[in-house]
Amino acid sequence: MSLHRRTVIKAIATGGALVGASVLMPKLAFAAWNKSAFEAKDQTAAMKALLGAENAENSSEVTLKAPDIAENGAVVPVTVSSTLADVESMSVFIQDNPSPLAAEFMIPAGTAANVATRVRMGKTSKVTAVVKAGGKLYSASKEVKVTIGGCGG
């Protein structure tokens, strides 16, 4: 690998990468901030407000990576990728958060559908990634455990 991780991270941090910019500043990156979706109190309402439907088809072409147990509920790493064609957007929902919609990433045509972010989780919850591709919705889910910790032997 010729480009060191450190260099890449620096490039992202200084805004040199398009995806990085949207990860760091999701609100600024969107022309139309979907206030009602991000403020919705349940996942169904948030999905409907954001994507216009309450359900998405479970798909093996959507890959959601998240830990089984969060090391720190305040910053849980979540990665979403997809092998579907014509991906338009990728969004992340934390079902039991006060506001379940955590992030939406717009994927411009020709961009690899692979995003990573960190989400805040107050308690154990189902995490769902929804990918919009070719006008249809596809998803993958996983439960992430948040524990108060301690008492390990």
Partner 1 sequence: MSMSRREFAQLIGLAGAAGMLPTTGFAAAKQTADPYELENFGNVRLLHITDCHAQLNPVYFREPNVNLGVGTAYGKAPHLVGEKLLGHFGIAPNTLEAHAFSCLNYESAARQYGKVGGFAHLKTLVDRLRETYGREKTLLLDGGDTWQGSGTSYKTRGMDMVKATNELGVDIMTGHWEFTYHQQEILDNIKAFNGEFLAQNVFVTEDALFEGADEYIHDEDTGHVFKPYSIKEIGGARIAVIGQAFPRTKIANPARFIPDWTFDIYDDLLQEQVDAIRANEKVDAVVVISHNGMDVDIAMASRVSGIDVILGGHTHDGMPEPTVVKNAAGKTLVCNVGSNGKFLGVMDLDVSNGKVRGFRYRLLPVFSELIAPDPSMAQLITDIRQPYTSWLNEELAPADEVMFRRGNFNGTFDQVICDALRKVNDAQVSLSPGFRWGTTVLQGQMVTMEHVLDQTCLTYPETYVREMTGAELKLILEDVADNLFNPEPYLQSGGDMVRVGGFDYVCDPTAKIGNRISEMTLDNGERIDANKRYKVSGWATVGARSEGADIWDVVADYLRDRKVASIDKLNTPKLKNVAGNPGIVDYPA
Least CB distance to partner 1 at residue 51 (A): 29
Q: What is the total count of residues that contact partner 1 (CB under 8 A)?
A: 22
* 45 alpha-carbon distance from chain centroid: 17
Token pair listed for 126: 């189902």
CA-CA distance, 114 to 105, in Å (whole number)? 10
Token pair listed for 124: 């154990």
- Strands 57-58 and 136-144, by their bridges, are parallel
Beta bridge partners of 59: none
Residue 149 binds partner 1 (CB under 8 A):
yes
Q: How far apart are the first and last CA of the chain?
A: 39
Task: Using CB under 8 A, pick the residue from 6, 27, 35, 85 that binds partner 1.
Answer: 6
Instruction: State which residue, 41 or 145, has the beta carbon closest to partner 1.
Output: 145
Least CB distance to partner 1 at residue 16 (A): 14
Residues 70 to 109: which contact partner 1 by CB under 8 A? 70-72
Instruction: State which residue, 15 or 67, has the beta carbon closest to partner 1.
Output: 67
CB 90 within 8 Å of CB 36: no
Instruction: State which residue, 47 or 144, has the beta carbon closest to partner 1.
Output: 144
* Residue listed under structure tokens 């910019």: 21
Tally Cβ neighbours within 10 Å of residue 41: 10
Task: Using CB under 8 A, pick the residue from 15, 67, 108, 122 that binds partner 1.
Answer: 67
Residue 60 binds partner 1 (CB under 8 A):
no
Residues 12 to 31: which contact partner 1 by CB under 8 A? 13
Site for partner 1, rule CB under 8 A:
1, 4-6, 9-10, 13, 67-72, 124, 145, 147-153
